[in-house]
Copies of this chain bind each other. A is one copy, B any other.
Amino acid sequence: MTAVPHAYVEDLHRHVGQVVTVKGWLYNKRSSGKLHFLQLRDGTGVVQCVCFKGNFGEELFKQLDTLPQESALTITGSVKAEARAVGGHEIDAQSATIVSVAQADYPITPKEHGTGFLMEHRHLWLRSRKQHAILRIRARVQKAIRDFFDDRGFVCMDAPIFTPSACEGTTTLFPVEYFDETAFLTQSGQLYAEANAMAFGKTYCFGPTFRAEKSKTRRHLTEFWMVEPEVAYLELDGLLELIEQFLSYVVQCVVKDRRPELVVLERDIAKLEKIVPPFPRLSYSDAVDVLKGAGHAFEWGGDFGAPDETLISEKFDKPVLVHRYPAAVKAFYMKRDPQDPRVALCVDCLAPEGYGEIIGGSQRADDIQFLEEQIALHKLPMEAFKWYLDLRRYGSVPHSGFGLGLERTTAWICGTHHVRECIAFPRMLEKITP
């Protein structure tokens, strides 16, 4: 029987009874005289390879016993279903080839390390079980996001990273020397997405965005990925429906396809299974009543802080859609509620379990005069918004959109405390390496 020349661990269930070669790195091992049990990780999973001394030369068998963690090797053997083994399969090894012997001082050991140390070794920490699980979930979240929109006819339109002006104030912008000018790194693709929606009907952008956040919190990165759908002829009610359909789809894709990873993370999957439409909806004013009812000293008109959001979201076991915030605490481009011009036709989606805001969205102002007044009021440079106002000059329509942060969403789904573990190479204040 010819061996399968390169089988991945995640595919071993297709090769039971066959001889395969797996290629990876030594993750763990134990020995008992004439047997080595080598755990090989190949990036898709971990498989135990049982090595009988009789199948190997004396020298190789001895060498396998002293091989440092993370050494690279390939093992050829037959695949057995074995319920007790990690991953459900085992390889009865016939031969092994050592590809490279790792230095014996691999920095990440079973002992507890501080997060600072681990982050300095992020390029290696990624190989650890939990980090590996989180980032496989992140990739699944990302794919679910794209599939949701692609399958519904949204056109992916990447927004530019270099922008000449700020969408929402300038204090958290990163300036770039752009030849003889100064450009700023985008904080949001939304204004561009609005232009795209008028050209393509339903669009989204999904790329890195940047905030020069001086605060070190568990919820902030200077560089994070954000998806921003924008839809022409969509009003606030339709936006709320889109959000609950979308978010439920994303969570259920992970529940379906990344269960082993959720188990590694000891995530309570039952809590995720509950994330299906409809979501509870609460006006800002009702949310203020909730806070007051709980004894919080909170006055109508202010924005919610993290503790407020936690208190509101703890009332529900699904994400809660809080709509119609005071216009004064929201961005200038939001449409006012004709029923109550003090409030904007906006929505924040608060994740359960204290994970806070993961989505912010709104119906956009479609009246050019209102927008010109707002731009003047906020002392923004009118000239920079000339093209944006063109969208109201030539075919203004009701339209809405939202932004969802990928790392915050991944943190919630994984039950991970800090967003920095939800991206391969996080960027924070004082942190741009490795």
Q: Which residues of A contact B (CB under 8 A)?
A: 6, 8, 10-11, 23-26, 42-44, 70-72, 74, 99-100, 102-103, 106, 121-124, 126-127, 131-132, 135-136, 139, 142-143, 146, 150, 153, 155-164, 174-179, 181, 183, 185, 192, 195-203, 207-208, 210, 212, 214, 222-223, 225, 232-233, 366, 387-388, 390-398, 423-427, 429-430, 432-434
List 8 A-B pairs, minimum CB-CB distance, nearest first. A43-B201, A387-B434, A126-B199, A123-B195, A70-B395, A43-B200, A160-B425, A70-B394
A-B contact pairs, 20 of them (CB 8 A): A25-B397, A43-B199, A100-B395, A102-B393, A121-B390, A123-B390, A126-B196, A132-B199, A135-B200, A136-B155, A161-B208, A162-B427, A163-B432, A164-B432, A174-B177, A183-B432, A192-B424, A192-B425, A207-B207, A387-B434
Would you call B132 and A395 a contact (CB within 8 A)?
Answer: no
Which residues of B have CB within 8 Å of A181? 432
Beyond A25-B395, A179-B430, A390-B124, is A158–B208 a contact (Cβ under 8 Å)? Answer: yes
Would you call B223 and A102 a contact (CB within 8 A)?
Answer: no
Q: Least Cβ distance of A238 to chain B in Å?
A: 9
By CB atoms of chain B within 10 A, which of A185, A397, A432 has the most? A432
Would you call A103 and B397 a contact (CB within 8 A)?
Answer: no
Which residues of B have CB within 8 Å of A24? 201
Contact pick for A146, options B124, B143, B390, CB 8 Å: B143
Q: A159-B425, A164-B433, A192-B424 are in contact. List 14 more A-B contacts (CB 8 A).
A: A25-B395, A42-B232, A43-B202, A99-B397, A123-B192, A123-B388, A126-B195, A131-B199, A136-B200, A160-B424, A160-B426, A161-B161, A161-B208, A207-B208
Would you call B192 and A102 a contact (CB within 8 A)?
Answer: no
Q: Least Cβ distance of A339 to chain B in Å?
A: 20
Which residues of B have CB within 8 Å of A366? 100
Contact pick for A222, options B146, B150, B162, B175, CB 8 Å: B162
Contact pick for A397, options B100, B127, B162, CB 8 Å: B100
Which residues of B have CB within 8 Å of A8? 153, 201-202
Instruction: Give Cα A42–Cα B159 distance, bound, in whole angstroms.
Output: 21
Would you call B123 and A391 a contact (CB within 8 A)?
Answer: yes
Which residues of B have CB within 8 Å of A198? 25, 43, 127
Instruction: Give Cα A393–Cα B223 distance, bound, in whole angstroms.
Output: 29
Q: Least Cβ distance of A76 to chain B in Å?
A: 14
Would you call A232 and B23 a contact (CB within 8 A)?
Answer: yes
Which residues of B have CB within 8 Å of A195? 123-124, 126, 424, 434
Instruction: Give Cα A199–Cα B433 distance, bound, in whole angstroms.
Output: 18
- Closest B residue to A126 by beta carbon equals B199
Which residues of B have CB within 8 Å of A391? 123
Would you call B143 and A156 a contact (CB within 8 A)?
Answer: yes
Q: Least Cβ distance of A333 to chain B in Å?
A: 15
